[in-house]
Amino acid sequence: MRKLSSSRKKTLGSVAVVASLALAAPVVATGTAHAATKVNIKGTVSCARFGDDVVPDTITVTPQKGKAGSDDLPGDDPVEEYGLKVTGIPKNGTNATAKIACVDSDDETHTYTKSFKVQKPATGTPQVVNFK
C-alpha cells in the first residue's frame, strides 16, 4: 500500500470540500429562489355595478401558487373595506383571482371576478387592491 504525503492529503481534502460545496450550491440556491411568503391584502370592494341596493358580502382571493384567503364583510354599506391574508406566495409574486360576492335587498347573490398580481410590498405593508 502506498503512503500519501501530508501535502497530497491536504490537496485531496481541499478538492473534496470544493466538490461538496459545488454540489450543495444549487440546492441552496433552489431553496432560496422558491421560498414562499405570506401577503396581507387590503382595500375596498364595491358592488355598485349590480345596483344601488347591492352590498358586498364576501371576497376570496385565490392565487395560482399558494393558499387562498377570504374575508366576510358586514354588508352594511355599498363600499366595504376588507383585509385578508394569502400564504405560500413565491417571492416574485403570482397571479391571483379575486371573487367578490354581493347581496341585494331580495337576498339574491351576484358575483364578479378580477385578476391581479399578488406581490409582497417591499416595505412590509399590506398590498392595497380596490375592486369595483
Average the pLDDT over 52-68 and give the result.
97
Answer whether residue 107 shows pLDDT above 90: yes
Residue 79 has a pLDDT of: 95
Going by the DSSP 8-state scheme, the letter that residue 66 receives in this structure is: S
pTM (global) more than 0.75: no
**Closest to 125 in 3D by CA, of 18, 29, 41:** 41
Top-confidence residue, 44 or 123? 44
pLDDT bin (cut points 50, 70, 90) of residue 33 is very low
Looking up cell 354581493 gives: 102
Average the pLDDT over 62-84 and give the result.
96
Bridge partner residues of 85 (DSSP): 40
Q: Give yes or no for a contact between 57 and 103, defined as CB atoms under 8 angstroms apart.
A: yes
Answer whether residue 40 shows pLDDT above 70: yes
Residue 7 has a pLDDT of: 53
**Closest to 40 in 3D by CA, of 87, 78, 75:** 87
**Closest to 127 in 3D by CA, of 79, 93, 103:** 93
